Every structure is written in C-alpha cells, then in structure tokens.
Amino acid sequence: MIKTHPHLKPKDTFEVHCYSLLNGEDTRVLNLLYQPIIGGNALMLYHNLLSHVSEFKKPTSHFVLQDMMNNGLQELYQSRIKLEAIGLLKTYVRKKDEGYHYVYILGNVLPPHIFLADDVLSLLLLDRVGEQRFQSLVEVFKPDTPDTSDYSDITSNYTDIFQLSSERLVQSNELIEQTNQVMKQVPTPVVPKAEASTFDWEFFVDNLSGLNIDQTFLNTEFKPLVYTIHGLYGINELDMVSHVKYCLDYVTNEVDVKEFKRHIYKKYHQTKSIASNVEKKQVTSLTPKQDDQAIERHKNDLKHQGFSPEEIAVITSCERIAPLIFLKAIKEQKNGFVAQNERWTIENLKAQSKLPDEVINMLIHYSLVVLNNPSLNQNMVNTIANNWAQNKVYKASEALKQVKNFKQESTKKATNKNYNRHYSKKPTRKETLPDWATGDSRKETPLSGEELSMLEQQLKKFNQGGESS
C-alpha cells in the first residue's frame, strides 16, 4: 500500500542520519546487486546523502539536493521511494512553519549472501538482469569454502588467549551495559517485505486447500514470493495456483521454490510480447505534468468521438482499475457484496478470453449498472465476452460503442416487431434474443453525476493509490 505524503517542495527542509559508513564490500553490493533494481538515480541519491551526512545533519532545503544531483523534484521523489522500498532509507515527516521537515535515516546494505538468498530480492534482480547475468553475479559473491575434510581444526579459543579478571568485569559492568543499550538501537539491515493489495491471498489459499500444503510455509516463506511475482508479472490468483501445481511434489506435498521461480521466469520472460510490453512501458513513462496533459488529451479525444462527460468518466475509470477491485467498488456502492461465483467468473474470463482489464470492467459496468442486474450472470458475461473477443474489442471506449450498438439493434428490432404485429396480416416468426441484447427487458440506468462521484471514491479506496509528490 502506498502511504499518503505531503507535496514535496524545494523549500522543504531535511536532515540525514546514518548508523555506519560503507566499506568496500558494501559498495560492491550496491553497484552490482542493488543498482539493477533501483536504478542509477536512486543509487546516486543514496551516495550523496551518505557522503554529505555531516553537512546534512543540519536542516537543509531540498533545493540544495536538487542542485547537487541535477534532478527535478519528481525525479528526486521517485529515487527516494525506491530507496525506501528496497530497505535503504527510512523517511519521517512533520509540519513545520509553512512547509514540511523530513528526516532521512539511511539503512545498512545487506550482505550479499542474505540479499541473494532472499526470495523477493533475488527474483527482483533476476527480473532486471536476466538469467545469464544473474548466474554470473551469484558466482561473483559465491562463498569461497575450501575443502577441509582431510584437515584438523587447530583454531585457538578466545578464552585460551585472552583473560579478563573478574574484578575488572564487575567494575566495568555498568559501562558495558550502557554501551550495549546504545548499540542495540542500531537496526539490522532490512529485507523488504512484499505486499499486494490487488491479490486476494485468502482466495488463493482456498484454491490450494485440496493439495495439503503446509499452511505455515504458505503464510510465511511463500507469501512474500507470491506477492512479488504478482507485482512483477500481474499473475492473478487462479494462474498462480496453476503455477504452484506445476512445481508441487505430490508425494511430499511440498512446493519446489527454486523450480517455482525458474518456471515463472521462463514463462514470462522468454516471450517477445513481454519484452515488448516492458520496453513500451519504459518508453512511455511520463512525469505527473505530462501525465495530466496526456489524460486531458485522451478525454478530449473521447469527447470528439461523441462520448458524453458521464461516459468519459466511466471509460477512464475502466482503464485504470483492476477488474476485481472495480467489481467490488460497484457492488459496495449498491450495498451488495462480491459472491464467490462472481469472482470465479471474472478470473476465468481473464484467463480464457484474454480481453484487457478495461474491457472486462466495461462488461461489469454494463451488467451491473446499465442493466441494473444484482449480480453477474456467467452465461451472459461469457456470451458478451465471446462476441467482443471475436470482434477484437480491446479498449473500454470500443466496448462502450458495442454496448450502444446492442441498445440500438435491440430498439430497432423491437420497433420492427411492433410494426409487423400491427400492420402485417401474415404470421411472423418471433425473434429470440439473449437477455443482454433485448432493449425492453431492462431499463438502461447510466450513472448520475453524484453516483459517478461515489464510484470514484470507492475506486480510490480499493485501489489504495497515493498521490505522488
């Protein structure tokens, strides 16, 4: 979950504290293991904060840091949150005069053996550098353990070499105790914890219940790994279950974690489409100002296509929310709840139809809001999804046009039937249409402005989105 934070301004002040300086091994770990994940700008921010820690113990404006790094505020903020997420920085803030004052506490670098042994960090690194480079890095930091099986251990013990009188120990006991208390305040290096507000853990575990996998293993060791994979590749609960089954030893009921990570990596990296999508996302990354401008251009484009302001609001909501969250928000607005069969319907739809999330959201909106159905009907939803998949409907705006066409066609057919009934003496065959295509079976009820506002609030609540500085 992204925490809320005040807007960062150049005049806002900060101070820096750290527990220890870097040694040679720390620098090597930062450059080889951390940098591929957090990027060069974030690493440069860490080095600058650490190098000027004496100077920055006094309140300093962020403008000084901007000038030092030649970065804008948004770049500075993005670098900061990457350091926070990876465990290299803790940030505290409070209101001060007309602005804010920040306290930055630099975290210690993890030893390489802890970094590479951690499922979350090793998978992030593997995702960034690829399998070949990852294996090379493992070789770089691989412990040098000589074979001593034919040797005798003749290492001296501490007590054999150093002696300390009991009298001296008693005299220094208070000082030693004070020192221990002070040193205990130094935190150990932090291993980042993965969280996922868009992944239903209980639903995932329920679908594994018949496999007799140890619950302690699932909820401790395996949970962070699943969240990380979900965050990296967007794998939903049902697909994740399939991957677990692929790597499960059905004799011992144990998941082969190494095989699980290898299987996921190969499946989601050795395809050109994944690489293409990642590259596209990197190329089209926008600053907040550019993003706002792009949103306005998008809305204007939709307006030119003939969509009303209410329809544009629905389209943009469909484009940015995950289907299960979108469904939950609408159901709560209607004072309802998401039933288990509805969840299954959406998950199966995502797996089978390959329709984009925004199109699935429009289907949900059509069923629950326009047709005012109390729940999703699996047969109706699958029928519409089949139609849209065959007609290559890949955008929410295209899906809304399909909805309008449904309405127009059903109205036209209803008019023709009335005409034939009143003016034709010959018997006519009665046309039978699916429920979703009939115009007179349900009243179309688009969202009002007030309802749209309520829906937006619900979507923000479930999307857990924080406004960037």
Supply the DSSP symbol for 407: H
16 — pLDDT class (breaks 50, 70, 90): very high
Average pLDDT for 204-230: 87
The percentage of the chain sitting over the pLDDT mark of 70, rounded to a whole number, equals 75
Domain spans in the chain, listed from the N-terminal domain onward:
13-110, 201-282, 288-405+444-463
Q: What is the pLDDT of residues 132-171, one digit of tens each?
A: 899 999 999 988 888 888 999 988 887 778 776 666 666 6
CA dihedral 87, 89, 95, 99 (to 10 degrees): -130
The amino acid occupying position 2 is I
What three-state secondary structure class fits 222? helix
Task: Share the mean pLDDT of the chain.
Answer: 78
Tell me if 346 sits within 8 A of 360, measured CB to CB. Answer: yes
- How far apart (Å, rounded) are the C-alpha atoms in residues 54 and 408? 71
Q: pLDDT exceeding 90 applies to what percent of the chain?
A: 17
pLDDT on residue 188: 64
What pLDDT was estimated at residue 419? 53
Q: What is the pLDDT of residue 20?
A: 76
Residue-level pLDDT at 189: 64
Confidence of residue 425 (pLDDT cuts 50, 70, 90): very low
Q: pTM above the 0.85 mark?
A: no
Integer CA distances (angstroms), 153 to 104, 162, 238, 434, in order? 46, 20, 53, 82
Quick check: 469 pLDDT over 50? no
Other beta carbons within 10 angstroms of residue 432's beta carbon come to: 6
Q: How many CB atoms lie within 10 A of CB 147?
A: 6
Q: Is the pLDDT of residue 439 over 80?
A: no
Q: What is the pLDDT of residues 230-264, one digit of tens each?
A: 877 778 888 889 899 988 888 888 999 888 888 88
More confident residue, 189 or 223: 223
The predicted structure's pLDDT at residue 466: 43
Per-residue pLDDT, averaged over 188-197, amounts to 64
CATH number of 13-110: 1.10.10
Q: Which residue has the higher pLDDT, 411 or 158?
A: 158
Euclidean distance between the first and final Cα of the chain, in Å?
16
Residue 458 has pLDDT above 80, yes or no: no
